[in-house]
Chains A and B, each alone.
Chain A
Amino acid sequence: MGKRKTPVSKPNESERQASNPSSAALYKIIWRWHFYAGIIFAPFLIILAITGSVYLFKPQIEQALYRDYYTITPQVERITPSKLVGQVKELYPDATIMKYRPGESDSRSTEISLTSGGESMTVFMDPYTGDKIGELKDKDRIMDKIEEFHGELMVGTIGDRIVELAACWAIVLIFTGLFLWFPKNKNKSKKKRSLAGILYPRFGKGKQILRRDLHAVPAFWIAAGMLFLIMTGLPWSGLWGSNFQTVATNTGAGYPPSIWSGSAPSSHVVQTKEVAEVPWAAENLEVPNSTISDFTPLPIEDVMYVARSEGIHPSYTISIPQQADGVYTLSAYPPKAQDETTMHIDQYSGAVLADYRYDHYGFVGKAVALGITLHKGTQFGIVNQIFSLLICMGIILIVASGLYLWWKRKPDHGLGAPKAPAANAKKTRLFLLLLIAFGILFPLVGLSLIIVWIIDYVIVRRVPTIKNFLNA
């Protein structure tokens, strides 16, 4: 089939056009937005779907990659965590110890995270022998790279904003797409209502129809899943997500403070004059008073004792306080959202200053937390992973078939965009208002709309070549 010289109407469009001009205008404008948003964001959606598919299997991939670091032979006696930390300090004299992860089972190594010479790494230790098993630099963690790609296209904040923008526009794509897909029987013919081209593709009606069906039908099937992945991913985004989380936290509906936004409590520090700030490191070795210092920070053992008695999931990590009023933070993010914990412990007294479990999250926080474990595919294990993988595959399929559909319909010259209708029909205005409302709800979308309008106003309307090319 050769390329046509003029943009091709979608199948069935002409019927509608005849029956109701206002509906036809609405159909055209929605198609137009779907068309442009689709072409612009197609590459990003494919990137997100591919990196997402890989990241879904992070637990299995990391288990395979780092098996030698993770697995140890259980023995009868463990050496004390303090000694283990001491060992690491000897191996890395200039390092600052940041985290301590005891390990969730008898055959799991202990992980000590540190920064040394500006580099962050994890040192894997055998808690029975006290031997170092290996080290892994953060920058060498392949799954972190995938995550960075997925979350910010590996270019930091700008990438984060692009991903957020693509995700938001994907919502527009889903709804405009559903509108275009929605079966319309305006001509009230007594034809038998067929689900062909709606729930399953029409194979016998020519290539043009089949191409349309191969985009629209699978898109309908995965729309809900795709929307779910977008909505559960958005709370992570840098702009909309962090504002959303902060508002939720501040109103008591979200995560308690310090998990996403807000700060952790601080340890109780006694302000006594006679206690020097760093008495033990003082050059003067004389100790004039009995009081050498106030309370000393708890040894890791005691922190682990608190973790055990508070019933924290054994996969927890202890963040080591780096300041005098800092706290030990115990955090556990196991596969199921219901097992999550963030607990802040006074570094001197061991008092639990804040105990935030899933049950203590507000209803928005609970929804976001569940959304995250579902998005990452950990909540329901392998079933969850396969389900999410299918959605990702579906996204790749419909983005590709959408692009293919455009490519085949596209005339030799020009983009082949649907013609812009006059924006005066009531229904068309309603759609634009909806779009503006969406732009207010998602400021990045709003910003992109403003930019589109400025470009349209300043350039497109004044330069006939561009105007023709874009079919504006």
Chain B
Amino acid sequence: MIIKSRIVLTVLLAALLLSACTASPDAANRYEKEIPLIAEVNIPETLSIHQPETIEITLTQDGQRVPDADFVHYELWSNDGSLRDPMTDAVEVGDGVYTVTKTFDKEGLYFIKLHSGNNGSIIIPQKPFAVGKLSEDELAYLQAGTPTFQEGTAEHHH
């Protein structure tokens, strides 16, 4: 009987040792949860100079569109420094879609940076885009993959 119980014990312990438990994928739901705001910034397939162009921003949070977001601002600048728009409000067109309308005077590489917040989540995504054709320098710049931080922008948030 003692030997039997030893075998049982051995099996039990081996099972314990081998079945090291794994982290449950939904463990995060049991702790403080964040509901991040998600932005999609749609740049038209081609952008030309001297005509108004519209960039569309769609906000979602927790799977739902976000109309009336707390704030939706953007910054726009060109890589060569010829354009530098200060923080501007995007125009809400309904159903969580916001637009930026701009007439570009010069072809080249541009950046748009969104500053948006809703229900406790703040986002600051940044996206490069091309108006017309890019110059050799701009292509080289993109290819180098250097960080594109605009000095002095980070402190302007809400």
Write the residues of chain A forming the contact surface with B, with a CB cutoff of 8 angstroms: 80, 82, 85-86, 239, 242-243, 246-247, 249-252, 256-257, 261-263, 265, 268, 270, 279-281, 285, 287, 289-296, 298-302, 304-306, 309, 346, 348-356, 360-362, 436, 439-440, 443, 446-447, 450, 453
Contacts and interface: CB of A to CB of B under 8 A. Distances in A.
A295 B17 CA distance: 45
Nearest to A365: B31
Interface in B94-152: 109, 121-131, 134, 139, 142-149, 151
30 contacts: A80-B149, A86-B146, A249-B23, A250-B30, A261-B23, A268-B38, A280-B143, A280-B145, A281-B143, A285-B139, A285-B143, A289-B45, A290-B43, A293-B127, A298-B126, A301-B149, A305-B155, A346-B36, A348-B125, A349-B124, A349-B125, A350-B125, A351-B36, A351-B123, A352-B34, A352-B121, A353-B36, A354-B28, A440-B16, A450-B9
B129 A450 contact: no
Most A CB atoms within 10 A — which of B30, B123, B125? B125
A325 to B, nearest CB: 14
Interface string B29-50: 0111110111111011111000
B36 A349 contact: yes
A305 B16 contact: no
A388 B111 CA distance: 56
Nearest to B120: A352
A450 B13 contact: yes
Given A252-B27, A270-B40, A360-B31, A351 B127 contact: no
Interface residues of B, number: 57
A439 B5 CA distance: 14
A306 to B, nearest CB: 8
The A interface, classified by DSSP as helix, strand, loop or mixed, is: mixed
Given A85-B147, A256-B32, A290 B16 contact: no
Contact of B34 (A250, A291, A348, A355): A355
Contacts of B39: 349
Contacts of B34: 351-355
Contacts of A351: 34, 36-38, 121-123
A350 B143 contact: no
A462 to B, nearest CB: 16
Interface string B1-14: 00000100110110
Nearest to A270: B40
B24 interface: yes
A243 B148 CA distance: 43
Contact of A349 (B12, B37, B145): B37
A212 B82 CA distance: 87
B46 A299 contact: no
Given A265-B28, A280-B143, A298-B124, A287 B130 contact: yes
A247 B20 CA distance: 10
Contacts of A305: 124, 154-155, 157
Contacts of A268: 36, 38
A362 B31 contact: yes
Contacts of B44: 290
Contacts of B126: 295-296, 298
A404 B121 CA distance: 64
Given A243-B21, A447-B17, A299 B147 contact: yes
B127 A296 contact: yes
Contacts of B24: 249-250, 262
A300 B121 CA distance: 19
B147 A360 contact: no
Given A281-B145, A350-B122, A450 B36 contact: no
A110 to B, nearest CB: 15
Nearest to B20: A243
B45 A292 contact: no
Contact of B149 (A82, A285, A447): A82
B46 A301 contact: no
Contacts of A443: 13, 16-17
A453 B129 CA distance: 72
B23 A246 contact: yes
Most B CB atoms within 10 A — which of A268, A351, A436? A351
Contacts of A353: 34, 36
A443 B45 CA distance: 62
Given A291-B129, A446-B13, 18 more contacts: A246-B21, A252-B31, A290-B44, A290-B46, A293-B128, A295-B127, A296-B128, A298-B124, A298-B126, A349-B36, A350-B123, A350-B125, A351-B121, A360-B31, A361-B31, A362-B30, A446-B9, A450-B9
Contact of B30 (A252, A279, A295, A355): A252
Nearest to A345: B36
Nearest to A305: B154
B23 A356 contact: no
Nearest to B32: A360
Contacts of A346: 36, 123
Contacts of A80: 149, 151
Contacts of A85: 147
B97 to A, nearest CB: 16
